[in-house]
Amino acid sequence: MNLKEFEPKIVAFCCHYCAYAAADLAGSMRLQYPANIRIIRTPCTGRLEIEYFLKALENGADGVIVAGCEEGSCHFKEGNLAARRRVNYTGELLAESGLEKERVRMVNVSAANARRLVDAINEMVENVRRLGPNPLKEKTPMKQEICP
């Protein structure tokens, strides 16, 4: 596959209060990010387990971005801090298994900072495009069911 033709599929787990609101604001502001992003709204990124990130990659995602509230502003106190630890650990697991740890990333945004979210998404797409397709990807298109 020609890497110029490669359009990575990214799963974005966004917290309801900040990141998902920022994505909604980005639409209202007509800020654009690639159409190959699949946003999944979650009550809090702290509720996400490592298995969700790994399952997304196993089911054909080329990368995973976890977008939560800014540090110190989580609506569930320290949920985003737990999410960051899990994302970092997932990166370590990927590196140990021979995949690039850059395929999973955590970003913290406020509900009013749509530009920061869009920039993080675009940066993630470019990084994953540089890494190439997910070697775990099946020959079939990305499955709709991300979570077990």
The tens digit of pLDDT for each residue in 63-76 reads 999 999 998 888 88
Rounded to 5°, angle at Cα 9 from 94 and 121: 85
Domains along the sequence of the chain with CATH: 10-131 (3.40.50.960)
Q: For residue range 85-142, what is the model confidence (pLDDT) as tens digits? A: 999 999 999 999 999 999 999 999 999 999 999 999 999 999 999 999 998 875 545 5
Distance, CA of 87 to CA of 63 (rounded, Å)? 12
State the pairing for strand pair 63-68/104-108. parallel
Check residue 101 and give its pLDDT: 96
CA dihedral in degrees (47, 128, 143, 37; nearest 10)?
70
Q: For residue range 42-58, what is the model confidence (pLDDT) as tens digits? A: 999 999 999 999 999 99
Check residue 5 and give its pLDDT: 80
Check residue 140 and give its pLDDT: 47
Beta bridge partners of 104: 64
Q: For residue range 8-44, what is the model confidence (pLDDT) as tens digits? A: 999 999 999 999 999 999 999 999 888 899 999 999 9
